Amino acid sequence: MNSSDTVLVTESISRDGLQSLGAVVPTEAKVHLIRQLISSGLGSFDAVSFVNPKVVPNMADGTEVIAGLADVRDGVELAGLVPNLRGLEAAVDAGVDTIGLLTAASDTFNLRNINATVEEAMERIRSVLERVPGEIDVRAYVSTITHCPYEGPTDPARVAELTERLIEWGVDWVYLGETLGRGTPDDVERVLNRVFEVAPPDRIGVHFHDTFGQGVANTHLSLQRGIRRLDSSAGGLGGCPFAPGAAGNVATEDVLWLLDGMGLKHGVDATTVARAARAFAAEQRIAIRSKANEALLAGQEVG
């Protein structure tokens, strides 16, 4: 059990939040958004992806987004998603602090997402790990932890087996991705029970989508089980282009309210997050999905 009272909240709006959008958001708008969010106290960002821009056009400018934040990086972690060696090269050149490697627990989603079976993706991860410079931290995402959009329920034993190998290979943290937002706390608990047989809670992060409104409940369960690393997205934006029907990530504002209620520290001002998300969404004409955002800004003019 992890008894730390401090939680690392990693903000994913500029990566997961934007990757499925049809309209391309200008680089300056992304940089401005992250700057606003840094001013809220957020210190960790799942900021960009180094993936094929023909597949995910909104992630074509990862290098430029990182460059646009050069003067505000003190004490701020900027992460980039890396699907292969070419992505690693781009991430290192851009100067990210952390890379996010990825596989799913199911072959069909993985093939559609990154054109690799799970075992092929694990081999890619291994070849990237052999070349990661020592100063860069490494997280590895295991997606579809409870359900695959194409294959149905996922076997928790498969998630645990992948987690064990990734930790053995030297990944700093494995992030469990509930990509579809279908899983309930009972589903997540079954996964955590198996994962904790092979890795301690301080090597595990969670990344919940909120399609069926289970994101906060799943986050609560994970915190109760000792996890202290969470991804979330301001305004609840997000989704994966290869997970049809999946809604955005659990909203950062909703998670911060939960953390306050549990007496856990995070160092973030939720109202500043809410305002930044609301103004960005209004400018880009995107609908946001966060009950805490609405409640925090009730009656205020924003954007």
Residue type, 119: E
- Dihedral of CA atoms 36, 42, 44, 46 in degrees, nearest 10, equals -50
Minimum CB separation from Mg ion for residue 78, in Å? Answer: 18
Q: Nearest-5° angle of CA 28, CA 11, CA 136? A: 90
Q: Which residue is nearest to ligand HMG (CB)?
A: 177
Q: Nearest-5° angle of CA 216, CA 221, CA 227? A: 105
- In the list Mg ion, ligand HMG, none, the entry touching 50 (Cβ below 5 to 8 angstroms by class) is ligand HMG
| Binding residues vs ligand HMG (CB under 6 A) | 16, 19, 49-52, 54-56, 81, 83-84, 86-87, 102, 113-115, 141, 143, 177, 179, 207, 209, 240-241
Residue type, 170: G
Q: What are phi and psi of 55, to 5 degrees?
A: -85, -40
- In the list Mg ion, ligand HMG, none, the entry touching 272 (Cβ below 5 to 8 angstroms by class) is none
- Helix (H) / strand (E) containing 177: strand 173-178
| Binding residues vs Mg ion (CB under 5 A) | 16
- In the list Mg ion, ligand HMG, none, the entry touching 49 (Cβ below 5 to 8 angstroms by class) is ligand HMG
**Considering 37, 69, 240, 250, which one is annotated as catalytic?**
240
240 catalytic residue (yes or no): yes
Nearer to ligand HMG, 9 or 51 (CB): 51
Minimum CB separation from Mg ion for residue 179, in Å? Answer: 6
Minimum CB separation from ligand HMG for residue 113, in Å? Answer: 5
Handedness of CA 92, 94, 100, 101 (dihedral sign): negative
Question: In the 8-state DSSP scheme, what is residue 164?
Answer: H
- In the list Mg ion, ligand HMG, none, the entry touching 109 (Cβ below 5 to 8 angstroms by class) is none
Alpha-carbon span 155 to 184, nearest angstrom: 15
- Annotated catalytic residues are 240
